[in-house]
Amino acid sequence: MQTKVKCIHHWEIEEPNGPISEGICKNCGEKKEFQNSIFTETNHINLDREQSHASSAQEKKWNRWFGE
């Protein structure tokens, strides 16, 4: 009985051209689809809000540090 060795994939993914790109493992030839973007309009809004909060927190930290 042969033991099947699990491949440690090394994906080569085609250039983005739409929402999905195909990848091929350089080691075993397995094919897999990869999403080029996981963002929806809701995610963009949430991300913008998170970045805004992070920016405000960084400004406050900066001002405390430099006494501004």
pTM of the model as a whole: 0.47
- Mean pLDDT value across the chain: 76
Q: Looking at the predicted structure, is the pLDDT value of residue 63 above 80?
A: no
Confidence at 28, pLDDT banded by 50, 70, 90:
very high
| 33-51 per-position pLDDT tens digit | 999 876 655 555 555 555 6
What are the distances in angstroms from CA 59 to CA 2, 37, 53? Answer: 61, 30, 10
| Integer Cα distance of 20 and 12 in angstroms | 14
One DSSP character per residue, the chain reads -PPPPPP---EEEPPP-SSEEEEEETTT--EEEEES----HHHHHHHHHHHHHHHHHHHHHHHHHHT-
**Domains of the chain by residue range:** 11-66
